[in-house]
Amino acid sequence: MKLVRFGERGQEKPGMIDAAGALRDLSGYTDDITPAFLAGEAFVALAEMDSTEFPVVEASPRFGVPVSHVGKFICVGLNYADHAKEAGMPPPEEPILFMKATSALQGAEDTVVLPKGHSKSDWEVELGIVIGKHSKNVAVEDALGVVAGLCVVNDLSERAFQLERGGQWVKGKSCDTFGPVGPWLVTLDEVGDPQNLRIWLELNGEMAQDSSTNQMIFPVAELVSYISHFMSLQPGDIISTGTPPGVAAGMKNPRWLKAGDRMRLGIDKLGVQTQQVIEE
């Protein structure tokens, strides 16, 4: 299934994308794509239903974050060996974890707003994991069973805030609009192997990042298991799994984001995001 939430910000309705690519309205089936929905029987039952039972949405509405009421936005740093190399850091022996404020969340096509005082704003296309079941101390072999689906994430970063202002990375990661997610939440049965997906990002029409999730140091199942040993994972939590090489911070002469830029990014089977950049 490809689940979505469509409509104006704060007024999103639940929907799904059918096999022909049409948007179907699920508001007669569920009020929203909530953590409780993902953890419940209605989510399981939906997979067995005929999508033609639900009305087609003829318009082309905005897509919001494909799950509402996200509790935690957990990020993994330096999870591609080539990205660690371009950052001048050794590949980590264990996953590097940090948090991104949920107030950074927004839809896949929403405008990215560079914050006041920005000087080194950067892009990072990442594979996102959406948790579907309460889980703690999950074994690696059971980890994919607690995943509701996968999605595209742009883990935008203001590097000066992140690396030059003291303290932890969260300051450079949590600016408003710095967490586009979606457009879809795609269940694993449609994705197949999560470690064999092309992942890419274009800036102003030029390819900046182009890799595969098979280059991840710590794969999806291992990350879910690892994180669950430090904190319980709840339905609706999002884990952003790290970015491949090609970010501005890795360039000899960095080309930071500026007003007027356009990012286009995607992951095989998970959809495409497009964002215009403006200044606050």
Distance CA 263, CA 122 (A): 11
Determine, yes or no, domain membership for 82.
yes
- Say what the pLDDT of residue 142 is: 98
107-138, pLDDT tens digit by residue? 999 999 999 999 999 999 999 999 999 999 99
- Report which of residues 86 and 248 the model is more confident about: 248
Token digits for 249?
A: 């911070």
Report residue 279's pLDDT band, with 50, 70 and 90 as the boundaries.
very high
Are 183 and 86 found together in one domain?
A: yes
pLDDT of residue 165: 87
* Per-residue pLDDT tens over the stretch 36-89: 999 999 999 999 999 999 999 998 999 999 999 999 999 999 999 888 778 777
Does 68 reside within a domain?
A: no
Regarding whether 139 and 7 lie in a shared domain, the answer is no
Whether 179 is covered by a domain: the verdict is yes
Q: For residue 182, how far is the Cα from the chain centroid?
A: 6
pTM: 0.96
| Residue 59 included in any domain | no
Residue 48 shares a structural domain with residue 82: no
Looking at the structure, do residues 87 and 217 belong to the same domain, yes or no?
A: yes
103 in helix, strand or coil? Answer: helix
For 172-212, what is each residue's pLDDT tens digit? Answer: 999 999 999 999 999 999 999 999 999 999 999 999 999 99
Tokens, residue 54: 């639900």
Are residue 37 and residue 81 in the same domain, yes or no? no
62 domain-assigned: no
Whether 64 maps to a domain, the answer reads no
Same domain? For 139 and 91 the reply is yes
Average confidence (pLDDT) over 255-270: 98
* DSSP reduced 3-state for 250: helix
Overall number of domains in the chain: 2
pLDDT of amino acid 86? 80
CA 222 to chain centre: 18
- Three-point CA angle 84, 75, 253, nearest 5°: 40
The verdict on residue 134 lying in a domain is yes
| Pairwise CA distance, residues 90 & 93, whole Å | 9
pLDDT-based confidence at 161, cuts 50/70/90?
Answer: very high
Order of strands across the sheet that contains 198-203 = 112-114, 271-279, 262-267, 198-203, 206-212
- Residue 39 shares a structural domain with residue 99: no
User: Residue 196 class from Cβ within 10 Å (0-12 exposed, 13-18 middle, 19+ buried)?
Assistant: exposed
**Residues 17 and 106 placed together within one structural domain of the fold:** no
CATH code for the domain in which residue 103 is found: 3.90.850.10
Do both 49 and 81 map to the same domain? no
Q: Print the domain residue range for 77.
A: 73-279
Same domain, 78 and 187: yes
| Helix locations, 138-230, DSSP H | 159-164, 170-173, 188-191, 220-228
Q: How many CA atoms within 13 Å lie on the side-chain side of 165?
A: 15
The backbone torsions φ and ψ at residue 86, rounded to the nearest 5 degrees and listed phi first, read: -70, -25
My answer on whether 190 and 95 are in the same domain is yes
User: And the tokens for 72?
Assistant: 């935690």
Q: Are residues 167 and 228 in the same domain?
A: yes
Tokens for 183, please give them.
């457009």
List all residues 6 or more positions away from 180 whose beta carbon is below 8 Å from its beta carbon: 106, 107, 108, 110, 112, 153, 154, 156, 273, 275
Q: 14-36 pLDDT, tens per residue?
A: 999 999 999 999 999 999 999 99
Mean pLDDT, the chain, whole residue set = 96
- Is 211 domain-assigned? yes
CB 82 within 8 A of CB 214: no
| pLDDT over threshold 90, residue 247 | yes
